Amino acid sequence: LPPPGGPGDPAGQALPVESRPFASYGSALHINLPQAPRAGQLLTLLIDYEAGEGPGVCWLSPEQTAGKQKPYMYTQGQAVLNRSFFPCFDTPSVKFTYSATVKVPEGFTAVMSATSWEKQKDNTFVFKMSQPIPSYLIALVVGDIVSADVGPRSRVWAEPCLIEAAKKEYDGVIEEFLVVGEKLFGPYVWGRYDILFMPPSFPFGGMENPCLTFVTPCLLAGDRSLVDVIIHEISHSWFGNLVTNATWGEFWLNEGFTMYAQRRISTEVYGLPYTCLEAATGRALLRQHMDATGEDHPLNKLRVVIEPGGQRVSEGFSFFLGVNPDDTYNETPYEKGYCFVSYLAHLVGNQSKFDAFLQAYVNRFKFQSITADDTLGFFLEYFPELKEKGVDSIPGFEFDRWLNTPGWPPYLPDLSPGQQLMRPADELAELWAADGLNMEAIEAVDITGWRTYQLVYFLDRVLQKSPLPEGNVKRLSKMYPKISTSQNAELRLRWCQIVLKNNLEAEYSKVKDFLHSQGKQKYTLPLYRAMWGGSEATRALAMETFSATAPQLHVNVQNYVKKILGLGGAE
C-alpha cells in the first residue's frame, strides 16, 4: 500500500514548504498546514528529499577502510548531525519509532540501529525499530561487512579482514556484561546487542546506537585488554538510550550516569581495585582537561548553557541559536558527572539501596527525555529522609553548585582500593624520573602481569614527570618493549605523548604511524596539541602528518586539528 498522502493517495494534498535559516549546521523546514491541527490529531507527512552531502553522512573511499577494496558509508547522528541524513526533530527531547527500506548495490550489506533486520530480494534490507528513540540514535552503515555470533543475543559485524579478530576478542564476553547490567539496572529492552567494528577513520571509541553499537577497531588489541569500552556502551542501553537527556546542555545525565553504571558493572566483573584504577585514569583526564581550559571555564559545569547570550531555550532545542553542541564535547559531563552520581550514592550510604534507586529511576523515566531537575527531584522523592535532611543544600555541596558552578568536583569518590595497583606504578615512575637510574631497583619490579589500566596509570605518571633526565626514556623504551611497541591504542597514545614531551626524535615515527593507523578523536587531538606545543621539529611533524592523513579523518576531527595547527577550521 502506498503511504497515505503519497503519490497513490487521492486524499493527499501538496503543501507549501520553505527552508529557513536555522544554524550554521542545518536549516529549518517550515511546512504550512491547510488548517491548524487539533491536539492529539495524527498527521501523515510525506517528504520527498535527497541527502548525502552533510556532515552526518560519511562516505569513505576504499583506502579509508580496513580492507582497502570497496567504499563504505556510515552515519553519525550525535549530537545534531542526523538532520543532514533525513528531515527530523533533531533534538534529544523528542522520541519516535522508525522503519526504513534500504537498497544497496550487489556485494554490499546494510545494517541499522533497529530491533529487526530482514534481507529481501534485489539486495534490499528492511529495518524496524519498535522502541521510541531520539533522532541521534538512528544509524546506518553500508559496506562490505560480514557477521559472526559471539553470544545468544549478540554478533560482531566487521569487514571480512577483521571478522576473525573481532570474534576472538568478543566471544562470550558481551553476554556476561549484559547479564550483570540487567541484574543491576533492570531488563535489557532492545532485543539484540550487536557490535559493529568501524573503519579506522571512525572518530569515536564507541557510539551507543541501540541494538548495534559502533566501535573503533582500536578495541581489537588482541588480548581483550580494552573490552571495558564495550561495558561503557552497554551501560548506555539504560542511561542515554532508555532515559535520555532532554537537552545537550545536560549531557551529564547521559554520560555521568553511564560512567557510574560502567564502573558498577566493572566492579562486579573485575573487582574494586581494578575499577578504581580505571576511574583514577578518568580523573587524571579530567584534571588534564581542567588544567588546559582553566577550572572556571564555563564548559566545566554540568549544566552547560549552549546558547550564546545565556538564555535557556526550552523543549530541548538548546542549540537553537547556533552554538554546535559537538563543540562543547569534553571530559566534564563524563567524569564530573560520575563524581556527582557517586556523591548521590555517598548521600545514600548503602550500595544496594542506591542500586535499587537506579533501577527505579530507569523504570520511572524509561523511553522519556528528562532534565536534571527531573532526576534530582526523583532522587529526593525516592529518599524522603534525605529530602527532609535538606541534602540538596549542604554548604559547599549544593545540587545547584554541582550543576551551575564550573570547576573541580566538590566531592571525589574514594579510589583508595586501587592503591594496591597504583602504588607499585607510582614507585616505578619515581625510579624512572630519577637523575641517576637505579637499575637494580627497576629490574626488581616485574610488570609482566600488569593489565592495561595499571600500565596506563604508570605511563600517565611518567608523562607528568616528563621531560625526564637525558637518556632515561630511551632506556625505558628498550627495557619495556611490551609498552613501547604495543598495539594497544591506550598504551600507544601515552607512549607517543611521552616520546613528544621528551623530544625522543628516534621514535617520532611511532607518532606518525599511530596517527596514520586510526582517526579516533580522543587519540588524535592530544597528539596534535602535544606536537604543536613542542619544538620546531614536532611542529613540522604535525604539519607533515596532517597533510598526509587529513583525507582519512572525519570532517569534525579535521576541523579540530586545523584549529590546533592554526589553519582555520572549527571556531
Q: What is the pTM of this model?
A: 0.89
The dihedrals phi and psi of 316, each to the nearest 5 degrees, come to 75, -5
**DSSP structure string for 480-547:** -HHHHT---HHHHHHHHHHHHHTT-GGGHHHHHHHHHH---HHHHHHHHHHHHTS-HHHHHHHHHHHH
Please state the domain extents for the chain. Answer: 56-237, 244-404, 416-565
Domains 244-404 and 416-565 share a fold: no
Compute the distance between CA of residue 571 and CA of residue 566 in angstroms, rounded to an integer.
11
User: Is residue 509 exposed (0-12), middle (13-18) or buried (19+ Cβ within 10 Å)?
Assistant: exposed
**DSSP structure string for 118-136:** EEETTTEEEEEEEEEEEGG
Question: Is residue 147 scored above 70 in pLDDT?
Answer: yes
The residue count for the chain = 571
pLDDT of 312 reads 38
Percent of the chain with pLDDT over 70: 95
Query: Cis bond leading into 298, ω under 30°?
Result: no
More confident residue, 452 or 441: 441
> Taking the domain 244-404, which CATH number applies?
1.10.390.10
pLDDT of 10 reads 54
pLDDT of 553 reads 87
The fold of the 416-565 domain, in CATH, is 1.25.40
Instruction: Report the mean per-residue pLDDT for the chain.
Output: 92
Q: Please compute, for residue 228, the number of CA atoms within 13 A of its CA located in the half-sphere on the CB side.
A: 26
SS (H, E, C) 355-424: HHHHHHHHHHHCCEEECHHHHHHHHHHHCHHHHHHCHHHCCCCCHHHHHHCCCCCCCCCCCHHHHHHHHH
Question: Is residue 225 scored above 90 in pLDDT?
Answer: no
pLDDT of 308 reads 46
- At residue 350 the predicted structure's pLDDT band, cuts being 50, 70 and 90, is very high
More confident residue, 569 or 470: 470
CATH 3.30.2010.30 fits 56-237, yes or no: yes
Q: Are 366 and 378 in contact (CB under 8 A)?
A: no
Active site residues: 233, 334
Q: Are 386 and 263 in contact (CB under 8 A)?
A: no
pLDDT of 25 reads 73
Average pLDDT of the residues in 285-308: 88
- At residue 319 the predicted structure's pLDDT band, cuts being 50, 70 and 90, is very low
In order of 94, 197, 303, 394, the CA distances from 315 in angstroms are 9, 34, 15, 30
pLDDT of 311 reads 38
Q: What is the pLDDT of residues 32-83, one digit of tens each?
A: 998 899 999 999 999 999 987 778 898 998 888 889 899 999 999 988 889 9
Average pLDDT of the residues in 443-461: 94
pLDDT of 454 reads 93
